[in-house]
Structure 1
Amino acid sequence: MSEHEHAPAAARDAAKATRRGFFGVAAAGLAGVMVAPGVRLIEVARAAGADGPTAGANPKVRWGLLIDTTKCASGCTDCVDACNAENGLDPRPTPTSAQWIRKVEIKEIKTGRVSSAPVMCQHCASPPCVDVCPTGASFKRADGIVLVDRHICIGCRYCMMACPYKARSFVHEPLTNQKPDVPRGKGCVESCTLCVHRIDAGGTTTACAEACTKAGHGAILFGDLNDPDSAISKRLREVASVQLRADLRLDPGVRYQGITS
């Protein structure tokens, strides 16, 4: 038996934790980077998970969206425009601009039917972006909202590669005139936040759902998936809905009505 196998369990666990921290940061090319004497980025990220960005979220709630593709017109961009305005994104995005919602055409293989639908971060119950993040910048709140902490995001873009929905963007250019409730940063990855700044301030809907309703489309419904009496839960019991790439078993918080796959 090796000397390592004889070591006390606590010592082995500490060594493993040290190695995980080192390789997590090293994977992004920042091994040994210190934010304070003796404190590494990986350690800050772990601490934030317990008392930082997730603090205050209600674990009894799971926020989500139901999108009715039968009411979503192909040329309509009301939800995209509202998202851009709400979060200070470029109203005329270029190929390198951040975009938190994009309209896509979904074609059903069996019938050939084409549906238009907005696709954003799906706020998965088991988010792969969180699994691959080396610093803990990608995290899931207790209420199911998946976010990026820009203060500890190192721009490695592992999360972008891991996301099967291509829902994340990288900020390439310096940012000006930012919205005070939606801090962003060059060199960071970002995506739909389900308008978390609204929710934490007591709001009841997202910018995209609000704009869609005001325009008379009624294609986007926001609410608490865990509350059986919420409008979204009632609707989900009444209509057939699907999760995009349900085969991956990520349990997205965004559901789609009117499509079969």
Structure 2
Amino acid sequence: MVQQILEKKYPFRKEYGIVQTLFEDDFEKSKITFVTEIERLEPFEYSIRRKNILINDKAPDLVIEQISEKIGNIFFPLEVETLENGNLKHISNLDEIRKRWKSLKPKLVEYYKGKLAQGLIKNIEDELESKNIIQNRILNSFFYRLYFLPFRDYIKEENTDFDLYLPVFPFKNKVKYNIQIIDSNLSEEGKVMMKISGKCIDPRSFEQIINNRKIAESDEENFIGKVELTYQFNKEDGSIFSIHAEISLQSKDEKKVRLINFELYQL
């Protein structure tokens, strides 16, 4: 029953409110809110738009926030083609994104001065030269990783566990979690509800993860990580109605804690 409902029907268009909050050592460090529109054009083709970005409940005002927002906006609308299971196949409008950058760059160079601005501009210039780097930028989004999770692959068999790599630290190697679908049923409102739980099994130490190192020097487990996900799906078209996610990583002595709360809800 659940497998059949998760068969997405097209076309559909959904608008979502998204709130992503980062806590470090029990203190709220940042909160980002925005609105995203997802349009399913063909069985495996999607158009993604983003708007109304707020950082800590206000429009970006710091120079680095303003530049980052302007650079981020060149990626939207983003058109992607996925594999049947939902994983990214390729970006369909990459040439258009590069044209947007060519139009934006002179304005940034003229308006924003200093080493910080120059560094950000050079970074995006280098990134746009590589298709793989751009695709990794997309995959380094909690929104994309969680919205396009390949559910159908994971619920074919009972008690199937699988590995999920999450961007716990931006622009660094993703952290490996092993998770399992622990419950799926129909709610009283007619939504398909699915609960997923798991733990971090990354072979690196906490410090190696922070420092973006790929190979562990020790097998000693010195950190704890958990993930709790709750999804609701629309029964009529298989689209996602809401996501609640809590991803944590902390050192074994609990002196360093990183917690990410991600909320997505259909408007």
Q: Same fold (TM over 0.5)?
A: no
Greater Rg over alpha carbons, structure = 1
Higher helix share: 1
Q: TM-score, normalised by structure 1?
A: 0.25
Higher strand share: 2
Q: TM-score, normalised by structure 2?
A: 0.24
